[in-house]
Amino acid sequence: MYNFILLQADGGAGSGIMGQVFLFGSIILIMYFFMIRPQQRKQKETTRFISEIKKGDQVVTVGGIHGKVYAVEGDQLIVELDKGLKIKVEKSAISLDYTKKANETK
């Protein structure tokens, strides 16, 4: 009688482990589709936006500075804030979200 109970417990434990593996795999899959994949898309979009910046574009920096691209020098931009007032910023300091929002309101 005891041997039968132990054999059943072993069989139940095996299916419990498979259920846990399935649950863990499902959680990882859900995290991928709801967290990792959208972040990768946003990163690709931001990288494309920064690489396509050209002279004359209206941009907004991460710090909230609005200006017009006066020149592109490698990884840096010269941004004209007002007539004759120019600053040099890194391309990575340009915000895709703020720039889109600023250009939509105009």
Residue 64's identity, in one-letter code, is G
pLDDT at 7 over 50: no
> pLDDT tens for residues 10-30?
444 556 888 899 999 999 999
> pLDDT tens for residues 25-71?
999 999 999 999 999 999 999 999 999 999 999 999 999 999 999 99
For domain 54-105, is the CATH number 2.120.10.30? Answer: no
- Cα 34 to chain center, whole Å? 12
Residue ranges per structural domain of the chain? 1-52, 54-105
pTM of the model: 0.67
Q: Among 94, 85, 87, which residue's Cα sits nearest to residue 61?
A: 94
pLDDT of residue 14: 56
pLDDT of residue 2: 52
Can you tell me the distance from the alpha carbon of 57 to that of 96, in angstroms, rounded to the nearest whole number?
12
